[in-house]
Chains A and B, each alone.
Chain A
């Protein structure tokens, strides 16, 4: 600023001088000026990779490494692996590595394994390998800038393997070239559309027509299951119970029969076909102890709950529903992904590709607390998913992504008795803070990722926690 003032002073003096000359002579116009420039700089990244091997028999050329079969001195089956093959990202951008394999040498196609038959009519027995089960070149990977991946380390899984050889192989040669095709990481087509939730309908008039047995632990023992007009306790159990309802004995055995989709519950000589709800049931044979009153111990189902969808959803969008406090049953048309009858929930996780008319989806679930739905656009499929329960803080479990090319999003979903709608995972975008209820939380990566190591939030909540991979279209 001090420099600026000095320059201004000089400008004023020049201006006064010019005015004086103007009065005297030809006239000089002066003006106060200022200015500057605006610059935008853009750099474009680069994609390069290199292939290396510490094995002296491996011949590296650019992004390729060629292995030539050693002299084979026996007709017996055998193998020859090289020490290792490594691909390194030498560019400045993350890149996807896709390997291709080219057979070479003098062998005919029929002499290669899977290539047909050789001149003697025998199946081809010369083969090559692409790595171990867990680390195989046939799975595309994403390498960060400067990153690398080694296959077959320790002479394990990269090279030739062959079965018994016949005379057609005499004097022949074989080679295999592994080529790393390094390209741009595919852009994710996924975007978040919105979220909505509803309280699960309560009441005391359940219908026992479509209750699914819970999975997880305990797997059976709590619910009557009526399907295709057959009825049983889950796991065919009858079980001792205690009941708080005064007019019913405290202990005994239930049986359930079904006809026309209506369950008949018989208990110690008393039979009812009326919708009925048992409260205070206690499973005396399970190590997990008592069942929480009012949430897990409903015989039958309550009135359906309308499943809301956020505005802006389109046909083909992916909807993910999470209910807390029910633990059994998914919204109509939804595919169950997790049905968790844990001590933290229970809760359900399910998904559906939305179709015309889905704005009237209902959830035929039993007594519960709340359900929330999260809708995403541009999702091709559900990939990996995982569950983690308990803990001090809501925790997103680690996943091995089904599509680790960097285009998948990961959504972390939480269902807990504590408030988790504002769940905070560092680097993730919360998607549930605007919900009316607080028992369901969601946050996503808001971008494609190649890995998901899991993450612990800063939100205290011991509940059912899920992570779901959304594969991009």
Chain B
């Protein structure tokens, strides 16, 4: 559907260019001649590019729209002071007809409590620019948080980690 509307715009652009050329020829004088004429039309189809998050780990849901896709993972409340981790994973799928690449930022953690056990990003280096072919799905991006033994200062704490994904064609 979007390609069809692109074609319409392209066609209009070409027609304007041909018309300009015509006016140029008329400005040089008038000659009697048998003439015949025709015109050539070039149609250009521009592909699409976009991504979606797929292959989500449990506790995760996907939502959002172009440029602002989201994966939100809500981990069940921690009920033990034992050290642990809450890994999450997702993949990035190129849903368009143009290949590109993607990056994943290191996690930005919020909600840490001073003096309490700190939560640690499981993807501290993020994911460097990685090619992604049209229609392809990336390798799983493994992220999440880990933590050591929790202390009383962690009680009632809410921690979040956010990863930013950028995809470019």
Contacts and interface: CB of A to CB of B under 8 A. Distances in A.
A203 to B, nearest CB: 52
Interface of A: 3-5, 7-9, 12-13, 15-16, 31-47, 91-94, 184-185, 187
B72 interface: yes
B69 A35 contact: yes
Interface in B144-165: 144-145, 150, 154-165
Given A92-B77, A184-B80, A38 B86 contact: no
Contacts of B100: 32
Given A44-B154, A185-B79, A33 B166 contact: yes
A8 B155 contact: no
Interface of B: 1-2, 5-6, 9, 13, 46, 48-51, 53, 60, 64-75, 77-82, 86, 88, 90, 96, 98, 100, 102, 104, 107, 119, 141, 143-145, 150, 154-169
A33 B81 contact: no
A40 B143 contact: yes
Given A45-B155, A185-B79, A38 B169 contact: no
A121 B88 CA distance: 70
Contacts of A7: 66-67
Contacts of B6: 9, 12
B141 to A, nearest CB: 8
Decide if the interface of chain A is mainly helix, strand, loop or mixed. mixed
B70 A39 contact: yes
B115 to A, nearest CB: 14
Contact of A40 (B81, B156, B160): B160
19 contacts: A4-B50, A8-B49, A34-B49, A34-B51, A34-B66, A34-B167, A36-B68, A36-B69, A36-B165, A38-B60, A38-B70, A38-B104, A38-B165, A39-B70, A39-B72, A39-B162, A44-B150, A91-B155, A92-B77
Contacts of B90: 38
A5 B1 contact: yes
Contact of B155 (A32, A47, A185, A187): A47
Most buried by B among A38, A184, A187: A38
B163 A37 contact: yes
Scoring B68, B77, B98, B160 by chain A CB atoms within 10 A of each residue's CB, the highest score goes to B77
Contacts of B102: 35
